[in-house]
Structure 1
Amino acid sequence: MAKKVWTGIRLVVMTLFSFLFFVVLLLFLQLNGDEESSGLELFGYTSFTVLSNSMEPTFSAGDVIIIEQVENAEVGDVVTYMTPERRLFTHRIVNESIEQGSKSYITKGDNNSIEDRLPIVSEQIVGVHRFTIPKVGLVAETIQKNIDMRYVVFIPLMLFFILTIVEMIQKKRNKPKEEQLYEKESP
C-alpha cells in the first residue's frame, strides 16, 4: 500500500515539476524588448508579449497574444506586422486597397484615434491574432527582472536529476526484495 502511495506522490510531483518547468521556460523565452516581443513558435503559431495599450480593450500591455501564420488577411483581422525598421506592431486592418495589382492594408490600434501613418503589404504580416492569454507577459517580465535566469533553469534541472537519482536508488534497493519474493514463490 505504501508503495502505491509513494508511486502516486512521485507521479504528481514529476508532473507538477514538468509543467512548472515548461511554463517558466516559456515565460523566459517570452520577452526580448521590442514593441511586441516574440516568444515560442510552434505549429505555425507564435506568441508575443504586448508592450503597449494601443489595442485596448481587445488586449492590454502585459498580455500574451497567440498569432497564426496565414496566407491572407482581411479587413477586421488583428494582425502582427513588421515595419521596415524591423519593429513589430499588432493592430487591426481597417481598410484595404489594390494599386497596380498590389494589395495594401491600412491598420489602426483599437485604442488609437487615428490610422497608422503608413500602409502595410502582405509580406509584412507575420500573422493573424487568434487568442489572448491575459497578463502572462507581466509574470515573464517580473521573473526576468527579479530573478537570475541561470537559477530559473539550473534549479529545476538539478531537482530533476536529484529525483531521478533517488528513484534509481530506490529501484536498486527494491529489486533484491522482488527477486527474493519471486524465488520463494517458484518451486
Structure 2
Amino acid sequence: MKNRDWHKQLRDITHWLRKILTWSSFVVLFLVSGLFVYHVVDIKIMNNDKVNYKPEFALYSILTGSMEPNIRVDDVIFTRKINAPDELKVGDVITFVSENPHTKGAIITHRVESVNQTVDGYSYVTKGDANETKDNAPVSFEGIIGKVIFKIPKLGILRKIVSNKFGWLFLVLIPATFVILVDLIKASRAVKLNKTAETITKQKKTPDIRDVSELKQKLLEKRTKLSALDEMELPRLRN
C-alpha cells in the first residue's frame, strides 16, 4: 500500500513539473519575442533620429570587447533614460552617441571616468574597461541615451539569428512546434488510456473459462446427486 502511494505521489510531482516547465517555456519565449520586437522598432526609430530620440528604456547588443570582462560581446544591455545631469556619477556605465570625429554618430557603451561642469553644461569623460586610454572626445549630456541598469549575457546571439529574414520564422516555429508536440503527446496518452480502459472493461465482462468449467462441473455433480436420490425414492414408492 505504501509503495502504491509513493508511486502516485511521484506521478503527481512529475505531472506538475511538466506543467511548470511547459508554462515557463511559454513565458520565456513570449518575453524574448516581445523584447526583440521592441528592439527592432527601437533601432529603426533611432536610426532616423539619433540625436533627439531618447527612449525611457532601451536595449542594445554589444558588438565589441571594449567593456570586457564586465560586459562581453553579444551581451544585451538595458538602459534607462537620464533626466538630469546629477543622476550620473563616476563609475556609471552609459550608452551614448559618439561625438568623436572618427566614430561620430556611433552608439557606444563606456564607463564614466569623470564629470565636468562648465558654463556650457555638463560633459563626461568616458573609457572602456578593456581600453588603456580614455575616449578622445568628451560626451555631452545631450548625447547620452541612457544609463545601463542590467545585462543579459549572450542574448545578442539570439538577436543575430532573428535579424535575418528566416529568423522570425525560426522564432515562431520553435514555440509552435513545441505546442504541437505537447498536444500530440497528450492526445497519444489519452488514446492509450482509453484503449486500456476498454480492454479492462471487456475483460471484466467476459467470464473466465475456468470459472465456467467449474460451474458446469458443479451443476453436473448436483444433477448426478439428484438422479441418485430419485432412484432411491422410486423403490419406496413402489413398496
Q: How does the TM-score come out when normalised to structure 1? A: 0.63
Match of 1:89 among 88, 108, 125: 108
Who is 1:77 aligned against?
92
- Alignment pair present for 1:53 and 2:72: no
| Count of equivalent residues | 157
Aligned residue for 1:130, secondary structure, equals: strand
Shift of 1:150: 2.7
Following TM superposition, where does structure 1 have runs of at least 4 consecutive aligned residues deviating by more than 3 angstroms? 7-14, 26-34, 142-148, 154-161
- Alignment pair present for 1:68 and 2:80: yes
| Bigger strand fraction | 1
Label 1:144 to 1:23 Cα distance change in 2 as closer, same or farther (>3 A).
Answer: farther
CA offset digits 1:37-94 (Å, max 9, x no partner): xxxxxx9432221111001111111111122222321111110111254321000110
Q: CA RMSD in A?
A: 3.9
Determine what percentage of the aligned residue pairs are the same residue.
28
| Bigger helix fraction | 2
- Alignment pair present for 1:98 and 2:117: yes
Who is 1:127 aligned against?
146
Shift of 1:145: 5.7
Which letter does structure 1 place at the counterpart of 2:60? F
Q: Distance in 2 between matches of 1:81 and 1:12?
A: 40
Shift of 1:113: 1.0
Q: Distance in 2 between matches of 1:52 and 1:142?
A: 18
Who is 2:232 aligned against?
none
Shift of 1:28: 4.3
Who is 2:26 aligned against?
18
Shift of 1:155: 6.3
Q: Distance in 2 between matches of 1:148 and 1:101?
A: 46
Who is 2:171 aligned against?
152
Q: Runs of 5+ in structure 2 lacking a partner?
A: 1-11, 47-54, 184-239
Label 1:148 to 1:67 Cα distance change in 2 as closer, same or farther (>3 A).
Answer: closer
Q: How does the TM-score come out when normalised to structure 2? A: 0.51
Q: Which has the larger Rg? A: 2
Label 1:100 to 1:68 Cα distance change in 2 as closer, same or farther (>3 A).
Answer: same
CA offset digits 1:122-150 (Å, max 9, x no partner): 11111112222211212332454695423
Shift of 1:116: 0.7
Is the CA contact 2:56–2:81 (under 8 Å) kept in the aligned structure 1? Answer: yes
